[in-house]
Amino acid sequence: MLHLLLKAGLPGLIIAAVSEIAKRSPGFGALVAALPLVSVLGMIWLWKDTHDPVRLADHAQATLWYVLPSLPMFLIIPALLRRGTPFWGALAVGCLVTIGLYLLMIWADPRLGIQLGGSGGS
């Protein structure tokens, strides 16, 4: 149970730290947010739970492919905010574009020979 609480709580602490750091230094807060801390923690916990190198390799590779469609959001949101779009509207547009790009990736990847489901067993 402690392991589960740690898994749930540590990412929350990271998010809280990022928001506090960004209040003082937006650039440094962005750097901390961009670090793949949650991904690394996820890989550590997946390894601890399974000790399955194939599953971990599949997870790490799929993470790369899922990061790519999220990147345009970080161009869209600041562009909209600088043009006067309210925060919630800019965030919504950025998220909707990202969702659309995720769906496009899920559709296109098998056609490009990219396996996001992996072969890491059950």
In a domain, 85, yes or no: yes
In a domain, 91, yes or no: yes
In a domain, 4, yes or no: no
Domain count, the chain: 1
Q: Which of 58, 56, 75, 72 is nearest to 104 (CA)?
A: 72
Q: What is the pLDDT of residue 8?
A: 81
Q: What is the pLDDT of residue 74?
A: 96
In a domain, 97, yes or no: yes
Q: What is the pLDDT of residue 97?
A: 98
Q: What is the pLDDT of residue 79?
A: 98
Distance CA 22, CA 20 (A): 5
Determine the structural domain holding residue 101 and report its residue range. Answer: 52-122
Q: What is the pLDDT of residue 120?
A: 45
Identify the segments of the chain with pLDDT beneath 50: 120-122
